[in-house]
Structure formats: C-alpha cells, structure tokens
Amino acid sequence: MAICHGVIALNWRRRRGDHTVEMRQLQALLAVADTGSVTKAAELLHIVQPAVTRQIHNLEAELGTSLFDRSRSGMRLTEIGAQVVERARRALNELDRAREEARTSGAGLHGIVTVGLLASTASLLAVPLVSAVTERHPGVRLRVVTGYGGHLSRWLEAGDVDVALTYNQPPATGLDVKPLLEEALWAVAPPAAATVRPEGVDLSELLLQSLVMPSAPHAIRSLVESAAARLNVPLDIAVETNDAGVQKQLVQSGLGWTVLPGIMVADEAAGGVLNSSPIVNPEIPRKIVLVRPSGTRAPGAGRMVADLLEDVVLTRIASGKWPSARLVV
C-alpha cells in the first residue's frame, strides 16, 4: 500500500522488507472501524482480542502511520485511517465478488450486484426487486444500499455501486443514464394546517411558511431554492436536518412546514399525522433516472438487475402504489 499526497492505493503484494498487507489485517481494520472497539471487533470476527490488536499494529507498521486515535471511549479513525478503510472495503468487496463468480461459474447468471436506491424509494422498491431477482436468478446475490442523490452519484463513479436509481445525473464517462419518471414534490404541514387542500398547495403559499429543510447541498433543497428564486422570494428556513424522519417529527410538532416526495408522507397523511398535498402553480418535479455502467463495464448480472429494477418501477407506478410519479415519455 502506498500513501502519496493524501491518496491511498492498495497493492496486495507490495512488500517493504518482509512485510505484506494481508486480507486478515484489512478484515480486522474494518471490524474495528465499524464497531469502534477492539473487543467488539474480536467478537465479530470470532477471534481473540490480542489477535485483532496485533493485526492492527502490523498494518499500521506496514503503512508507517496511525490509523486510529485511541482513547477510553474507544477507537476512532484518523483522517488517513478513514481513507484506508474506504479502499480496504472496496478491495474486500471486489474479492467477494470474484469469489462468488468463480464459485458459480457455468451456472447461468451469477455474482454479486450492488444496487443503490434513494432513501425515499427504498421501502417501495427493495422488496419487489429482491424477490424478483431471487426468483428468476438464484445465482445472483444483491447488496442494497440507500443514500441521497449525491452519495449515489459518487458511489457509481467510484464503482462501489453497480446500478442505481437516483436523481437526474449529468452525463458521466462510462455511465448510461436513462430517465424513468418525474415525481411532484409535496408540501408537508402540521395536522392542523387549514390551508392545505387536497388538490394542491400553491408554491407561493408554501414559501410564506417557516420551513424545515435539508442542509445544502441536497437535491430537494436545491429544487426548492431554485423555485423560490424564480419567484424572487427568500426562503424562511427555521431548522435544517438531513434526516427525513426528523423533518416529519418537527413538522408534526408544529415547528414548520417541509417539502418531501409524496411516497415519503403517504402513510402519515392517510393517518392524519401530517397534512400534505402536491405543490402546484407551479409544481416542483424531481426527475429520477436509472444509472448503470455502459458497454463492456456492465456485467450480465448487473444488466439483468437494472432491467428488473426498471420493471419494478413501472409496475409500482401502474399499480397506483407510486401515485405522485409519472413516466417520462
């Protein structure tokens, strides 16, 4: 492994003297990073605590730098340690993928495919997607991760995610971007807000309210800011949070209004916990796209999962389970 100007590269067979970075060292590194404790990492790996400590010390000696700040409260990654963890996790994931492909060679579609979903769509799409893949292609194993649009874009470009459903993404080298749908954003208000009508809330009415909004940069925040700028109206942001659950709790408590995709508030609106309606005059749509590697970068299992994800999206819209969405034609 080499460290140059803050950039880390994992070289599996690089030697310095008689030392080699070993897979078990990286496994120990990830276990301590994820648990914050050598003791918990040992339990996770089913080995004794001194063995974990030895692996971490050997890795730090090989790299010539500390990967953790040690204190009574536990083990916290240093800045360089966080970079090593990111590279190590990617390397071990690739090794898992190669092992799975070798094990199932000749058995039809096989391998591990990592799917990225927007947090707002995961509850609607994850179960039918996993069910479809498991039923039709049992040799394919899915990893499903969720995140905001910016996270998914970075993971796609880094190769950490094979297929993703995300906000409209600018064209990037090696990626195919296919627009699938537009979804109107909804105004979300406290239960007693009398101005929220079923047919919609005028944008000008929404902009009069104190708002609970995600911190920038965030796709929905950017859409609302752009809409307000077109009307030359400043936003009155009372609270910022990037946790949609907290957004809804703050609105329910009467501390402001917010803006969310309709599928994220449908249950609360039906139960009277929140008062919500589409934003109209004009509406604020978000475009959702399917992104996957292009050409030879896309393995067969990845292309199959992308096709099934698209089918699941279309089925959910056609069945009325995604009422705020409309297909892009």
pLDDT of residue 87: 84
Beta strands in 25-174 (DSSP E): 68-71, 74-77, 111-118, 140-147, 163-167
Model-level pTM greater than 0.85?
Answer: no
**Has residue 211 got a pLDDT over 90?**
yes
CA-based nearest residue to 120, from 244, 302, 249, 221:
244
The mean pLDDT value for 238-242 works out to: 91
**What digits encode the pLDDT tens for the residues 27-65?**
889 899 989 899 999 888 888 888 899 889 988 888 889
**Has residue 309 got a pLDDT over 70?**
yes
How many of the other CB atoms lie within 10 Å of CB of 158?
10
pLDDT of residue 248: 93
Between CA 16 and CA 1 the distance in angstroms is 10
**What digits encode the pLDDT tens for the residues 27-37?**
889 899 989 89
**Has residue 121 got a pLDDT over 60?**
yes
Q: Which residues contact 224 (CB under 8 A, 6 or more apart)?
A: 185, 211, 213, 235, 259, 284
